[in-house]
Amino acid sequence: MSNKPKIAVFGSGSWATAIVKMLCENMETVGWYIRSEQSLEYIQENKHNPNYLTSVEFHIDQLKLSNDINEMIDYADYLIFVIPSAFVHQELAKITTSFEGKILFSAIKGIIPESGLIVGEHFHDILKVPFENIGVITGPCHAEEVALERLSYLTIACRDENKAEIIGNSLASRYIKTKTSDDIIGTEYAAMLKNIYAIAAGIAHGLGYGDNFQSVLMSNSIREMKRFIKKVHKMKRNINNSAYLGDLLVTGYSTFSRNRMFGNMIGKGYTVKSAQFEMVMVAEGYYATKSAFELNQKNGAKTPIIDTVYRILYEGKNPKKQFKKLTDLLD
């Protein structure tokens, strides 16, 4: 690998588009795998993504675009995956080339339904990538605010600090600050769990609960997150750091949050199917709720918020009644 490693982004939603923008601030060339040929041709002609963050303009000569996933894997040293977790399995199934020597980062905040694993674990257990070659890009950061160049903070987690720094330095700019962490498992679980709590916040809002209740819900959510993560990966971590608490707060409170938006519709009486139909974007917390609930059946952490969201989304229980019961379990 040369001094200037090649980086490629896999995915073409809002977050992938934002990450490509961040990398373009620092790199001469950024690889970008885009599944849809139509979207790729549109970007080549119009210099912006047709569907997501359409205000972000790219210099086409800075982009190495391809809709061939194998070609892009062969091109890059660092591969950043930003495909929603529900579609990762089917995208990975297209791969015929080798991951040997490649460094895989995940900016995905979810669990892969087919394996029930967070993405880093999936890379390790299923794709057999060593943990030193796996990293996570996380933190409280909405793609829409990156597009607006509003100051945002990212945490880059990798067991090999040098690799975390390479990605951190490639993303940092006037409006992006990065820090590194070695908690690849805990940060990923936090990123997945906060989406479920954001759905809970949305449901509460949709049901008419106010700011006073929301703060109690968030306070209970961070404690629940801590209990959950401690069961899956015990290590010394400060749950109040931005990658854990910060991400919970931005997703629970921001009007940009897809998960909160989805929850809000459920609270207002939409069915799961109709809420999903209304959403142009993916609410990862929907899939995470099922996986986290099932995982916790084995681990046995006390998770009244996840359990409540699960009963509403997957057992068709009444949100109003379920939240009434939940209110008696919070403090």
Ligand X SMILES: NC(=O)C1=CN([C@@H]2O[C@H](COP(=O)(O)OP(=O)(O)OC[C@H]3O[C@@H](n4cnc5c(N)ncnc54)[C@H](O)[C@@H]3O)[C@@H](O)[C@H]2O)C=CC1
Q: How far is the CB of 293 from ligand X (least distance, A)?
A: 18
Binding mask 180-219 for ligand 13P (x = CB under 6 A): ---------------x--x---------------------
Q: What angle do CA 114, 126, 95 make, to 5 degrees?
A: 85
**Counting contacts by CB under 6 A, is residue 257 touching ligand 13P?**
yes
15 annotated as a binding-site residue: yes
DSSP for 197-212 reads HHHHHHHHHHHT--HH
**Counting contacts by CB under 6 A, is residue 124 touching ligand 13P?**
no
273 is catalytic: no
**Counting contacts by CB under 6 A, is residue 284 touching ligand 13P?**
yes
Continuous segment of H or E residues that includes residue 136: strand 134-138
Q: Tell me which of 102, 163, 194, 226 is the catalytic residue.
A: 194
**Counting contacts by CB under 6 A, is residue 252 touching ligand 13P?**
no
Binding region for ligand X (CB under 6 A): 11-16, 35, 52, 82-85, 87, 90-91, 107-110, 141-143, 281-282, 284
Closer CB to ligand 13P, residue 38 or residue 240? 240
Of 134-163, binders to ligand 13P (CB under 6 A) are: 140-142
Q: Decide: 171 and 138 in contact? Cβ < 8 Å.
A: no
311 annotated as a binding-site residue: no
259 annotated as a binding-site residue: yes
CA distances from 6 to 22, 128, 152, 154 (A): 15, 22, 24, 20
Closer CB to ligand X, residue 188 or residue 307? 188
**Counting contacts by CB under 6 A, is residue 266 touching ligand 13P?**
no
Contacts (Cβ under 8 Å, ≥6 apart) of 249: 140, 218
183 annotated as a binding-site residue: no
**Counting contacts by CB under 6 A, is residue 106 touching ligand 13P?**
no
At 67, list the tokens: 């809709």
Q: Decide: 144 and 168 in contact? Cβ < 8 Å.
A: no
What is the 3-state composition of the chain as percent helix, strand, coil, each rounded to the nearest 5?
55, 15, 35
Tokens 């950024």 correspond to 30
Instruction: Select the binding partner of residue 103 from ligand X, ligand 13P, none (C-beta < 5 to 8 A, by kind).
Output: none
Closer CB to ligand X, residue 133 or residue 195? 195
- Identity of the residue numbered 255: T
DSSP for 241-308 reads SIIIIIHHHHHHH-TT-HHHHHHHHHHTT--HHHHHHH-SS--HHHHHHHHHHHHHHHH----HHHHH
Q: Which residues are catalytic?
A: 194
Binding stretches for ligand 13P (CB under 6 A): 109, 140-142, 195, 198, 247, 250-251, 256-259, 284
